[in-house]
Structure 1
Amino acid sequence: MDTFKMTHKNKLYKIAFGLAVFTIVYNIAEGLISTYLGFEDESLALFGFGSDSFIEVISGLGIAHMILRIQNNPNSKRDDFERTALRITGIAFYILVFGLVITSFYNIWQAHQPQTTFWGVIISIISILVMWFLVLWKRKVGNQLNSAPILADANCTMVCVYMSIILLISSGIYELFGIPYMDSIGTLGLSYFAFKEGRECFEKAKSDKNCCCD
């Protein structure tokens, strides 16, 4: 019975690790496509969304490492690799927020509008579906393992869902009604969540708390 439980537990950890790897690969693809289309269409919100995806890759590497660590030693504490990844991620988020906020206000001042936000609508819908699927699966695995770190990662993945919804709303409203500054307003909304993520990264790097994304 103990052997069966151990085998099942190891299988769940492999699934959790696979989800972490998938999240990394997806964010790389999403980042490349979103930044390219955001630049081509002059959509700051889509470009910022893609930039955030690249930062999530760094965070994802830390998550994948964390899963391997707790698989080998469930009671172990956050190690130097994870703390370094968190600090780098936090710095990257703050830099992104600074750039997006400054550019948003500049675009508002210059009355700049994107050529189209069509791809922002498409990418955000895809992202909502994929990230919600990841949230549900991570929560399922986390509950079966009774693992607070994996459940915390699922909660943090929900932030990606919220950011996708902001992109969808701002891109959709602009595409349908052509309301000025919606792209910039959406960018400021993304900046708010990016700032919160950056702050959380530094909080986690200083402690052994799993996540503040409750």
Structure 2
Amino acid sequence: MYLSSQDQRWYRLAFALAILTVVYNLLEGLVSVWFGAADESLTLFGFGLDSFIEMISGLGILAMVLRIWRHPGAPTGRFEKTALQITGTGFYGLTGILSVMALYNLSTQHKPETTLAGVVIAVISISLMWALIHYKTQAGRALGSEAILADAKCARVCMYMSGLLLFSSLVYSLSGIWFVDSLGALGLAYLSFTEGREAFAKANGAECSCHAGS
């Protein structure tokens, strides 16, 4: 199938955005886990673990962009399906871990030392996620690609997670209410469960809904 020079530019943009998503999630995961452990903030720590899972998902998206760029209409590749299955399993595992740890922290009235790092990381993440959603949507519409548009919609969940991290971290910083961090972690657990469900749905060939109507 012949692609115009304009389509080639849009596919190059989509490919660059996919690479940026993978690299950013890796860096975000490392920084968030480090500060989450150091500050004893479960929400930030869980957010970091989520970023590592998102990185694996991003590798699948990267393969998807390459597939539809080079071979439009080709079926989903094995690597994409495997990445989605690993991603789904990871999200379900994270749901369980965060739920157990959050309930334990609630029972012991544990609170983080500080959540300032969570505020900073969340603001950066929200800004970047908004830009990624915007440009992925532009690329998807220009190319008429439902797959790229679905990826843009699914990125909204990442922004919801960043918003939840910002809210819980900011509320704790301003009020010092001890259980806010644990409630934030439970919120992340719920969003992780929905992402796991979506990952397995996509692995089975379903379109990503990802709160598309939100």
TM-score by length of 2: 0.96
Matches within 5 A, 1:134-145: 134-145=132-143
Partner of 2:32: 34
Partner of 2:62: 64
2:207 equivalent among 186, 205, 210:
210
RMSD: 1.2
**For residue 28 of structure 1, what is the amino acid of its counterpart?**
L
**For residue 36 of structure 1, what is the amino acid of its counterpart?**
W
Deviations 1:139-162 (A, max 9, x none): 011111111000000001111110
* SS of residue in 2 equivalent to 1:168: helix
Partner of 1:13: 11
Structure 2: which 5+ residue stretches go unaligned?
none
Matches within 5 A, 1:61-140: 61-140=59-138
For residues 207 and 5 of structure 2, the distance between their equivalents in structure 1, rounded to whole angstroms, comes to 26
**For residue 212 of structure 1, what is the amino acid of its counterpart?**
S
**For residue 173 of structure 1, what is the amino acid of its counterpart?**
V
Partner of 2:41: 43
For residues 119 and 146 of structure 1, the distance between their equivalents in structure 2, rounded to whole angstroms, comes to 39
Deviations 1:27-59 (A, max 9, x none): 011000000000000000000001000000100
TM-score by length of 1: 0.96
Work out the percentage of aligned pairs sharing the same amino acid: 50
Partner of 2:20: 22
Could you list the runs of 4 or more consecutive aligned residues of structure 1 that deviate by over 4 angstroms after TM superposition? none
Matches within 5 A, 1:132-211: 132-207=130-205, 209-211=206-208
